[in-house]
Structure 1
Amino acid sequence: MALPKVRGARDESRVIHHELGHWLMAREVGFDTGGVIVQRAPDGAIHGSAKVFPRASVMLDTTGAIDDYLTRRVMVLCTGVIVEIEWYSKNLGRLLDEDELADVYENGVIDVSGLSDKGKIEELLVILSGLRNKPVSELPDFAAQISDLFTEIYNQAKVKAEKFLDKLYVMAEITSKEKWQSREMLEVPLERLLEIESLSETRLKMMSPAI
């Protein structure tokens, strides 16, 4: 089943959720972040990007250090997909089927460079597979290695993302009400995102039942 096409404010909401997923996971795994940008293209499509500075905290001079670094980068990218799936599920009032899940991964949010998470993920997984696996000569065997790696890291990211999804929903609600700098662009700088994160945490605490 094909996912329904969303436009206007709903599409902006989808992109905001997606980019906040990247932003929150980046901070969760130890990367510095900047702001988030949402843009309207002339054809009405909505694009977005979350500024992430994936600097290594240690020298990447061992296989283990490189593996850890690449894994965290892939987790950040996967979380955009994870959150977008959650957004569709929440808006449709049901779980997505396999074709719809594939649709989100294949045709998710495009950033301002024109790249999707899928393309970036697959480039990094090729390197990671070379670190973890012995070379194989047959393409189906290599594809299986990549698929297994993706599933493993995606599931790791999903476990971490579930811990901040409630906060993300509140952050997205606040962010969607921010003033656009122009008709084409909404840019939320780091300082404002940190304020929004703090407001969201406070709101969630107020909503939590007293023990």
Structure 2
Amino acid sequence: MKSMPAALRDYALQIANHEMGHYVVARALGFETGDVTLKVTMVLTHHGGASITLTRSISSIEAMKEHLERRMMVLFAGAMAQTLPAKHSPEKRVDKSKAAAILKGEFGAEQDYAKIRELRHLLRNIAYPDTDPASSERITAELKEITDRVWSRTQQIVEALADTITGLAGLLVERMVIVEQWGRPADTYEVVLTGEMLEGLRPVQAIPALSVWA
């Protein structure tokens, strides 16, 4: 959007990358998806969301483990995608240290991280049912193994689908409009891309179906 100040546009693109990271990886991993929304203000605050349906049939412990891993990947993907370089950059690599900082609350993704922490404990409880609850060192090691494996797989997926993520994020920002506010200067830009609109886009239709353990 031409009238958006450059600094605000750069900020909006980072947050758009975050939301499209959730959206694209969710679709790649088989989740039903809906609307993607984004709102940013002149003072660099934001609110965004990618609607993902978590309802699914789970008929075995293996299916439960796979579902938990997929959900963790979707949550990790937002922070990773937020660190992707600009669309014109030839190298599409995740900045791992920055992604970790985003998750731990420096940039507003602490809710994603809180969910990840709970999900990894549930996954560990299922994957290692015989661990003594008093064995804190072993439990810490098991949690680390799960987290490192899911993090690594998510990074592979985000980097493989980086062009799709950044392309859709750019489209999201291009469609932002300034919101009229009665009696005071308008300082908020927002956009909603509905699930139906997104599914009509060729890049969305081209998102590959991926396996957790591929």
Q: TM-score range by the shorter chain?
A: 0.7 to 0.9
Aligned partners of 2:139 and 2:100: how far apart in 1? 20
Shift of 1:178: 0.2
Shift of 1:39: 2.3
Which residue number corresponds to residue 67 of structure 1? 65
Distance 1:69 1:10, change over 3 A: same
Which residue number corresponds to residue 202 of structure 2? 198
Contact kept, 8 Å, 2:35 with 2:51, in 1: the verdict is: yes
1:163-190 CA distances to partner (integer Å, 9 max, x unpaired)? 3211222222222110337335322111
Query: What amino acid is the match of 1:18?
Result: H
| Residues 1:119 and 2:114 are matched in the alignment | yes
Contact kept, 8 Å, 1:41 with 1:47, in 2: the verdict is: no
Distance 1:184 1:173, change over 3 A: closer
Query: What amino acid is the match of 1:27?
Result: R
Shift of 1:99: 5.0
Which residue number corresponds to residue 81 of structure 1? 79
Aligned partners of 2:190 and 2:164: how far apart in 1? 24
Distance 1:53 1:110, change over 3 A: farther
Contact kept, 8 Å, 1:105 with 1:118, in 2: the verdict is: yes
Contact kept, 8 Å, 1:109 with 1:116, in 2: the verdict is: no
Which residue number corresponds to residue 29 of structure 1? 29
Distance 1:15 1:139, change over 3 A: same
Contact kept, 8 Å, 2:77 with 2:155, in 1: the verdict is: yes
| Residues 1:146 and 2:151 are matched in the alignment | no
Query: Per residue, is there more helix in 1 or in 2?
Result: 1
Shift of 1:97: 7.5
- Report how many residues are paired: 189
Shift of 1:77: 0.9
Aligned partners of 2:63 and 2:178: how far apart in 1? 41
Superposition map of 1:123-202 within 5 A: 123-133=118-128, 134-135=130-131, 136-180=133-177, 182=179, 183=188, 185-195=190-200, 197-198=201-202
Q: Matched residue of 1:21: which SS?
A: helix
Superposition map of 1:20-59 within 5 A: 20-40=20-40, 44-56=44-56, 58=57
Shift of 1:47: 2.5
Which residue number corresponds to residue 8 of structure 2? 8
Structure 1: runs of 5 or more not aligned: 1-5, 203-211
Question: Identity rate of aligned residues, in percent?
Answer: 19
Aligned partners of 2:50 and 2:107: how far apart in 1? 11
CA RMSD of aligned residues (A): 3.1
Structure 2: runs of 5 or more not aligned: 1-5, 180-187, 207-214
Shift of 1:201: 8.1
1:119-170 CA distances to partner (integer Å, 9 max, x unpaired)? 1111111100000013341434323222211111122222222332112222
